[in-house]
């Protein structure tokens, strides 16, 4: 721990860029860029931590190492940010595939964790190639055996499958408790202890605590694979397994929060195997069920791994590829899905994304979300709305419907406020009785009173989510949160068309990555007849405001494709060369905007300086 603390003192900024969270940050915000010195630093730091007995795992650092090497290769090959992003994700997945000898697990680890489920066909091909290659090389040098050794698990009878549901619930609760305990320890150490004591002293104390526990129970040291194999072989008593589970649960967050380097994969597997063994032992002891402890330990390994790290598919595939037993996958899927669901309810999101949010980063799930969040309802709404008073007789309503091009009418009160909506679905049931009721009903009688509305300041990401939950093709746009005056409508097809247009612009810009990286030499890069990409220093009035507040699309008819932040002369020149900002990005002094638009609109930006 003393050596690690000295490394942190020597390179404080680099030491913070650790683990899977750093890989997610690089792919989401920096086009897959990871500095080489960060990769080198986090090659040695986890080795020292784990080699000296730190009770953490190597998988997170290995994923960072694989991503860092792939990122450097992408830089040397001069790849675009999008392709380098895929390279980085593929490198991380390949590292996981090599460690566990599970190529499918590595592929879906990269998709679920690093790329935040941003699935694309070309991405999937790259992940397959990288993971299969890494797994083949791993088998060549390390053999075709799993790191875990166990007899073929015996799946219990179907009448006892409810036990896997109980196991999934239990491991889900265990995962939530571990995550919340980790947050408490991290907050307690950083906000209280580290303000009173130097970090090197805290790290030494935690190291001594780990050493003291390891003196009595050696299986707690290091990665823990030996301990997992002992549990799978039922070579330990239930009391020892219980103590090991408690130690792992308590010590891992303390090691990581105090400054140690390592990952959560191996600790998750260790706690899962211990909990599953204890679960089977307790069931056999209390109800004389004769359950196979190895089976429950393996299922528990998958459910705790999936729960803590929010990777249900990856954890299922990793454990399944290790067992190579198809009958085993049913209880495994059942427990993992339940455990992950409980964690999502209790934690609401990935532990890695929550960690980044605590650092001040807002990571969107793919570029699509950022595009939709950058466009607002007022940019695409239609102002041609069919409004009728709620006291309009039914005969007049039918006549207006037959003559109007609209298929949706909005009813308003005498003050002009929205009170309901009428579509053909509401009119069709009363047509058969029209002759008898036409003099009795008015528009307000058949209108639907519960109307979902949006505001002109809402972004399209919010609107599209509403369309997913409501079976309608349009929403009325009002002036406030309550059903006030209606000022327009927004259609589902308009939202999709707007996204397609903006996505095309971003893809076009990505295809001109080489021009973007040299654009400062010429000032402008022509991408199509009448359209160009240019760089402009931000105006002083822009500083301190978000992109959403600036509304450059509305005011200047220009798209902000990327931002080149200011880089000090002493900083790494490659890092943050370009970033894809979200609408909440706050403009900083000396930032440079990469703008796309018509040539005549770009010409007007000359007045900015």
List the domains of the chain with CATH numbers: 2-142 (no CATH), 158-364 (1.10.3080.10), 377-496 (3.10.580.10), 512-608 (3.30.70.1450)
Q: What is the per-residue pLDDT for 602?
A: 83
Mean pLDDT, residues 274-298: 93
* Mean model confidence pLDDT for the chain: 83
Name which of 135, 178, 145, 338 is nearest 267 in CA terms. 178
How far apart CA 83 and CA 76 sit, in angstroms, is: 13
pLDDT grade, residue 275 (50/70/90)? very high
Q: What is the per-residue pLDDT for 550?
A: 84
pLDDT grade, residue 284 (50/70/90)? very high
Chain-centre distance for alpha carbon 418:
38
Residues 34, 23 contacting (CB under 8 angstroms): yes
Query: Which residue would you say has higher pLDDT here, 572 or 133?
Result: 133
Mean pLDDT, residues 299-315: 93
Q: What is the per-residue pLDDT for 79?
A: 78
Residues 136, 174 contacting (CB under 8 angstroms): no
The fraction of the chain above a pLDDT of 70, given in percent, is 86
Q: Which secondary-structure segment (H or E) carries 378?
A: helix 377-380
Residues 552, 537 contacting (CB under 8 angstroms): no
Mean pLDDT, residues 106-131: 81
Instruction: Report the range of poorest mean pLDDT among 53-62, 455-464, 493-502.
Output: 493-502
How far apart CA 227 and CA 161 sit, in angstroms, is: 27
Inter-residue long-range contacts of 8-15, CB under 8 Å, 24+ positions, other chains counted: 8/199, 8/259, 9/200, 11/41, 14/38, 14/41, 14/42, 15/41, 15/45, 15/259, 15/261
pLDDT tens digits for range 464-506: 888 878 878 889 998 866 657 889 999 988 888 887 777 666 6
Residues 59, 29 contacting (CB under 8 angstroms): no
| pLDDT of 180 strictly over 80 | yes
Provide the 10 A C-beta neighbour count for residue 312: 24
Residues 523, 532 contacting (CB under 8 angstroms): no
The fraction of the chain above a pLDDT of 90, given in percent, is 27
Residues 600, 564 contacting (CB under 8 angstroms): no
How far apart CA 441 and CA 558 sit, in angstroms, is: 51
Q: Which two tokens stand for residue 274?
A: 């211990």
Q: What is the per-residue pLDDT for 375?
A: 83
| pLDDT of 367 strictly over 70 | no
Beta bridge partners of 263: 57
Q: What is the per-residue pLDDT for 567?
A: 63
Rg (CA), the chain: 29
pLDDT tens digits for range 379-402: 889 988 888 898 888 888 878 777
Q: What is the per-residue pLDDT for 144?
A: 78
Mean pLDDT, residues 356-368: 59
| pLDDT of 339 strictly over 80 | yes
Beta carbons within 8 Å of 275's beta carbon, 6+ residues apart: 170, 171, 174, 245, 300, 304
Q: Which two tokens stand for residue 215?
A: 């003196």
Q: Which residue has the tokens 């190492």?
A: 65
DSSP symbols for 562-590: EEE----TTS-TTTTSSB---TTPBP-TT
Helical spans, DSSP H, in 118-198: 121-142, 162-188, 194-196
Q: Where are the beta strands (DSSP E) in 436-556?
A: 454-455, 474-478, 486-491, 524-528, 531-537
pLDDT tens digits for range 199-238: 889 999 999 999 999 999 999 998 899 999 999 999 999 9
Beta bridge partners of 537: 592
| pLDDT of 370 strictly over 80 | no
Query: Which residue would you say has higher pLDDT here, 500 or 541?
Result: 541
157-to-32, 164, 339, 434 alpha-carbon distances in Å: 47, 11, 21, 62
Beta carbons within 8 Å of 212's beta carbon, 6+ residues apart: none
Provide the 10 A C-beta neighbour count for residue 69: 20
Q: Which two tokens stand for residue 306?
A: 């999936």
| pLDDT of 571 strictly over 60 | no
Query: Which residue would you say has higher pLDDT here, 578 or 569?
Result: 578
Chain-centre distance for alpha carbon 95:
20
| pLDDT of 23 strictly over 90 | no
Query: Which residue would you say has higher pLDDT here, 131 or 149?
Result: 131
pLDDT grade, residue 580 (50/70/90)? low
Q: What is the per-residue pLDDT for 534?
A: 83
| pLDDT of 570 strictly over 60 | no
Beta carbons within 8 Å of 349's beta carbon, 6+ residues apart: 310
Q: What is the per-residue pLDDT for 25?
A: 79
Q: What is the per-residue pLDDT for 210?
A: 93
What strands lie across the sheet with 559-564, from one edge to the other? 524-528, 531-537, 592-598, 559-564
Q: What is the per-residue pLDDT for 130?
A: 92
Q: What is the per-residue pLDDT for 94?
A: 93
Query: Which residue would you say has higher pLDDT here, 148 or 65?
Result: 65
Output the CA angle 234-237-239, nearest 5 degrees: 140
């Amino acid at each position: 721990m003393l050596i690690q603390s000295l490394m942190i003192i020597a390179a404080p900024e680099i030491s913070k860029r650790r683990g899977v969270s750093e890989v997610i940050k690089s792919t989401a915000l920096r086009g897959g860029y990871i500095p080489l010195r960060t990769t080198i630093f986090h090659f040695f730091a986890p080795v020292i931590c784990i080699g000296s007995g730190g009770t953490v795992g190597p998988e997170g650092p290995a994923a960072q190492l694989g991503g860092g090497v792939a990122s450097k290769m992408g830089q040397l090959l001069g790849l675009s940010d999008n392709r380098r992003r895929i390279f980085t994700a593929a490198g991380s997945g390949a590292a996981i595939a090599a460690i566990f000898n599970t190529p499918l697990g590595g592929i879906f680890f990269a998709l679920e964790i690093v790329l935040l489920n941003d699935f694309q066909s070309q991405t999937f091909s790259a992940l397959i190639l990288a993971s299969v290659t890494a797994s083949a090389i791993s088998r060549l040098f390390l053999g075709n055996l799993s790191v875990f050794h166990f007899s073929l698990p015996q799946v219990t009878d179907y009448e006892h499958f409810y036990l896997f549901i109980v196991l999934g619930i239990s491991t889900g609760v265990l995962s939530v408790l571990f995550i919340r305990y980790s947050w408490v320890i991290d907050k307690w150490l950083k906000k209280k202890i580290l303000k009173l004591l130097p970090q090197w002293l805290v790290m030494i104390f935690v190291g001594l605590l780990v050493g003291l526990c390891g003196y009595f129970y050696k299986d707690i040291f290091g990665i823990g694979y030996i301990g997992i194999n002992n549990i799978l072989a039922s070579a330990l008593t239930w009391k020892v397994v219980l103590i090991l589970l408690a130690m792992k649960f308590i010590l891992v967050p303390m090691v990581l929060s105090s400054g140690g380097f390592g990952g959560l994969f191996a600790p998750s597997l260790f706690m899962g195997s211990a909990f599953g063994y204890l679960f089977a032992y307790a069931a056999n002891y209390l109800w004389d069920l004769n359950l196979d402890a190895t089976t429950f330990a393996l299922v528990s390994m998958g459910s705790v791994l999936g729960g803590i790290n929010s990777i249900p598919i990856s954890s299922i595939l990793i454990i399944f590829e290790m067992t190579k037993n198809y009958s085993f996958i049913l209880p495994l899927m059942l427990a993992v899905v339940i455990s992950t669901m409980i964690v999502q309810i209790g934690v609401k999101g990935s532990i890695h994304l929550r960690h980044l949010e605590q650092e001040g980063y807002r990571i969107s799930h793919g570029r699509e979300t950022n595009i939709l969040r950058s466009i607002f309802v007022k940019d695409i709404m239609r102002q041609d709305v069919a409004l009728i008073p709620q006291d309009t007789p039914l005969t007049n309503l039918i006549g207006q419907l037959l003559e109007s091009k609209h298929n949706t009418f909005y009813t308003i009160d005498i003050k002009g406020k929205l009170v309901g909506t009428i579509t053909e679905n509401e009119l069709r049931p009363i047509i058969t009785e029209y002759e008898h009721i036409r003099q009795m009903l008015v528009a307000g009688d058949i209108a639907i009173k519960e109307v979902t509305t949006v505001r002109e300041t809402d972004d399209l990401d919010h609107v599209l989510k509403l369309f997913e939950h409501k079976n309608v093709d349009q929403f009325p746009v009002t002036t406030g949160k309550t059903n006030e005056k209606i000022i327009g409508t927004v259609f589902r097809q308009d939202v999709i068309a707007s996204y397609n247009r903006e996505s095309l612009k971003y893809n076009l810009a990505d295809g001109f990555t080489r021009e973007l990286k040299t654009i400062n030499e010429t000032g402008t890069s022509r991408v199509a007849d009448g359209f160009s990409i240019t760089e402009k220093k931000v105006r002083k009035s822009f500083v301190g405001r978000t992109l959403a507040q600036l509304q450059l699309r509305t005011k200047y008819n220009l798209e902000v494709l990327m931002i080149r932040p200011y880089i000090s002369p002493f900083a790494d020149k490659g890092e943050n060369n370009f970033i894809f900002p979200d609408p909440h990005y706050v403009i900083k002094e000396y930032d440079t905007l990469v703008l796309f638009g018509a040539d005549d609109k770009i010409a007007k930006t000359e007045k900015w300086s």
